[in-house]
Amino acid sequence: MNPEQLARLQLFASIEGGSAFWSYEIEQHGASETLDRLLANHYDEGDHALGNIRARILAKSAIERVQEIVQAGAQLITPDDIDWPIQLNELPAPPIALIIKGDREVLTESARSLAIVGTRNPTPYGNRIAGDLAAGAVDREWLVVSGGAYGIDSMAHQATLLAGGRTVAFLAGGFEHNYPAGNERLFNEIAETGLLVSEVMPSVRAEPFRFLTRNRLIAALSKGTIVVEAAYRSGSLRTAREAAELMRLVMAVPGPITSPTSEGCHRLISERSAELVTSISEVMELVNPLGSE
């Protein structure tokens, strides 16, 4: 790694993802200068949790952090890399960097990717629809993106793998503490042909706020986001909102009007925040109207 990449790694390891302020500073001044400014107390002490950030920077050297990534069997990817997914740069707070594990070549397919998200407690109906949509996307050579959680996320990943496709899972924690732990086997299978992605160092554990932060990455990478089942208030709706703010397509699958797990989808549809879809053919008409399925 060159000095600029090492400086970016130190910032990545010390600043929580989703900070528009620090993303702007790095874009304007570069990683090395931003790191120097931080260590030289250039910024107001009371702002942006500077004390905690400086403490984390000084806790480990950049070389130690490189070794941590290598020991986790992972790689660092930054906006300077040729295979960086440029659609992430459209975020108000683009990631400083990402840690990836698996087949890096998957990133070259990310322009044709669909996110499938939903509740952690799906009905059999929701599982079937998520599986059908994922398999249909594979048949049409699209990449399937989700968050690696139980429920709809897991079904989307599993159906993609069973159909011989490639899938990307954005995790809220580091690769040494994959969450949920019960999906460890699934994560290993994803890494064989697809990609695991994290916005934190391998030793960092998942926290509730990090799930919301990572949702913006799912929305930004994907050309469209499909919500299969979601409660009236859920993280999946947050992903849908993030996608809409980025002018990405948002789609929702309707369910029984008596089902609480479909209330979020019905809310998106009734508010005209999402297109109603019932099949992969309808999805393709929206995301790829001028192309073939």
**Does the domain spanning 104-287 belong to CATH 3.40.50.450?**
yes
Q: What is the pLDDT of residues 167-185, one digit of tens each?
A: 999 999 999 999 999 999 9
Q: DSSP string covering 87-129, please?
A: GGGGSSS--S-EEEEE-GGGGGGGGGEEEEE--SS--HHHHHH
* Burial class of residue 125 (count of CB atoms within 10 Å of its CB; 0-12, 13-18, 19+): middle
Q: What is the pLDDT of residue 45?
A: 63
- 134 within 8 A of 243, measured Cβ to Cβ: no
Contact 150, 183 (CB under 8 A): yes
Note the pLDDT tens digit of each residue in 1-20: 899 999 999 999 999 999 99
Distance from C-alpha of 144 to C-alpha of 162, rounded to nearest angstrom: 12
Q: Tell the residue number behind the tokens 């570069």, with chain if given.
A: 30
Residues in the chain with pLDDT values less than 50: 292
Largest Cα–Cα separation, the chain: 59
Domain boundaries, the chain: 3-74, 104-287
Please tell me the predicted confidence (pLDDT) of residue 291: 60
pTM: 0.94
| pLDDT for 49 | 72
Q: 281: number of CA atoms within 13 Å, CB side? A: 0
122 to each of 108, 155, 227, 268, how far by Cα in Å? 32, 10, 12, 18
CA dist 271 → 17, 227, 244, 265 (Å): 30, 14, 12, 10
